Homo-oligomer: A and B are copies of this chain.
Amino acid sequence: MDNKLLRDILNKYKAEEITEDECLKSLATLPYKDLGYAKIDNHREIRTGYPEVIFCQNKKPEHIKGIVKSILNSGGENVLLTRLTKDIFKEIEKEIENIEYFEDAKIAVANRVFRQFSNSKIAIIAAGTSDYPVAEEAAITAEVLGNKVIRLYDVGVAGIHRLFSKIDIIHEAKVIICVAGMEGALLSVVGGIAKAPVIGVPTSVGYGANFGGLSALLAMLNSCASGSSVVNIDNGFGAAYLASMINRIGE
């Protein structure tokens, strides 16, 4: 997976610093830590420049705690815990120092170290006040990953002058995250006026035939505005992670 690593292992083997069996084993076991219920990919930060992220939904509190501790023990910084309910955070907090919780975003960050890798910005544009939690999941994630964030909330297309009044600010962003539920139309309008790539986050906000975000998801996938793409429903984290990758380009 990582050519340099392979080359090192092979060199050691050729130089007889390691045996054939050790060599084989090294090739097979790129670094991770096995907790039984979880295999922690310590190699990830080196490989991708980002720390391991823990998606907490459906995980048992004991498992979450075990994983966080293991990552922190091997020196992890800015460890993100997403989809973490307040109740489980309170349990975790008892055993782990230096952990911060963002209630709206349902995110915790352990061992936070502030870094900012550039001055370019990610704009997070949300259609309505009801989209607030998802927008915040994106915003906090982006900030923890070292980005400058512009928040533009409640600028949905039904009062489109609110959006247009912010065009200058929108043009400042290197990448845009567009959070919208209901009919998800905001993505198309933003995509039509922006010069930067736009990542759509459909939300599950809405009346009946929203069907848990399906209406916004389909609308965003079918957007007539070129230069946009879509992540999963309510997946503010995923959008911010991708935005962060794009935002680092050329820095």
CB of A195 within 8 Å of the partner chain:
yes
**Residues in chain A within 8 A of chain B (CB atoms):** 1, 3, 6-7, 10-11, 13-14, 20, 23-24, 27-30, 32, 35-39, 41, 43-44, 47-50, 53, 55, 57-60, 63, 67, 104, 127-130, 132, 151, 153-162, 164-165, 167-168, 171, 174, 181-185, 187-189, 191-193, 195-197, 199, 202, 204-235, 237-239, 241-242, 245-246, 249-251
**Which residues on B sit within 8 Å (CB–CB) of A167?**
1, 3, 28
Given the complex, which residues of B lie within 8 Å of A209, measured CB to CB?
213-214, 217-218, 221-222, 232-233
CA distance A206 to B213 in the complex (A): 14
Question: Could you list 9 examples of A-B contacts with CB < 8 Å?
Answer: A1-B161, A3-B168, A55-B128, A127-B224, A158-B224, A206-B232, A207-B235, A209-B233, A228-B238
Residues from chain B with a CB closer than 8 A to the CB of A3 are 24, 167-168, 171
A246 — which chain B residues lie within 8 A by C-beta?
A: 197, 246, 249
Smallest CB-CB separation from A60: which chain B residue? B132
> In the complex, which residue of chain B has the Cβ closest to the Cβ of A200?
B229
Q: In whole angstroms, how far apart are the Cα atoms of A127 and B224 in the complex?
A: 10
Q: Which residue of B lies closest to A230 (CB)?
A: B230
The residue among A35, A129, A223 with the most chain B CB atoms within 10 A of its own CB is A129
Residue picked from A188, A191, A208, A250, most chain B C-beta under 10 Å: A208
